[in-house]
Structure 1
Amino acid sequence: MTEARLDAAVTLPGEDFSRVALTAEAVGLLQKLWLQHGPLMFHQSGGCCDGSSPMCYPAGEFITGDSDVLLGLFDLSGAGTGGGVTSDPPGGPGHGRPLEFWMSREQFSYWSHTHLTVDVVPGRGSGFSVEAPEGKRFLIRSTLMDWPV
């Protein structure tokens, strides 16, 4: 059974495949959080503080630099999934700004052979991530890619 997902736009030079996706549940929660907090971004550090979970921040709140890799861009506008907001009011999720997914360059060196899917599970992750008060947390599910990278 294949679960519905939203693949990110490709961002790495020379690649023609998406490296990261969102489940329908993740899209629904992100649309809700976008309406509460404005534009959002993910960062996957692999470090301390629940490092196996992607951290969701208001866009620009986590400063990225040369030590980070932009793995994908998500357009949440019109991504009706049944899991959350189904209409996209002006200024709502995705209007004029994609959701960025960043990973630390060091972490990417370990995970470069995997495809990542952001999912949602019950529970509380790190207090730094905007979904914490919702009683849910984002989680990475990884699968090995079956082509050379």
Structure 2
Amino acid sequence: AESSAAKGAKNDKKKGKALVAKVAPSSTWIIDSGASHHMGSSHVEFSNIEPCGMSQITMGNDTTVSVSGSGSVEMDGGTFNQVLSVPDLSTNLLSVYQITHLGEGMRVEFGPNSVIIRELNNDTTVAEGKADHRSRLYTFSHFTSDSTPTALLTHANE
């Protein structure tokens, strides 16, 4: 049984406010072997964006999202082409299949702590990412893009 002093201590906890603000890089991309296309959110800086042959795409959870076009995305060592612009996408995705099969002329090398995309013809490194061991995902953050300011405010009555 809990003593009355312990119960009182629990009830005496103060409730307050917290404010967290940060700039979250929207330039982070996740490499995805299950993605059929490269897909970027509204925060991605596309070049040569044009209408494409699809207006929607079905995601892995069977939701449908709108596609507003297709374009190119620059990175440190090269360019990814035919990237779908998906404004409502919360995470930018790179398709392993598109990198290795659909005209990109690249290969993907996975290691325990990193992922590297290289040109097939000259072995040049196009992009190098890292393993995020908490999420178990491989991410890239060297793409040209804006950063999205994020703020969180919580308030509890005292």
TM-score normalised by the chain length of structure 1: 0.25
Greater RCO, 1 or 2 (C-alpha within 8 Å, sep 6+): 2
| Structure (1/2) with the larger helix percentage | 1
| Structure (1/2) with the larger strand percentage | 2
TM-score normalised by the chain length of structure 2: 0.24
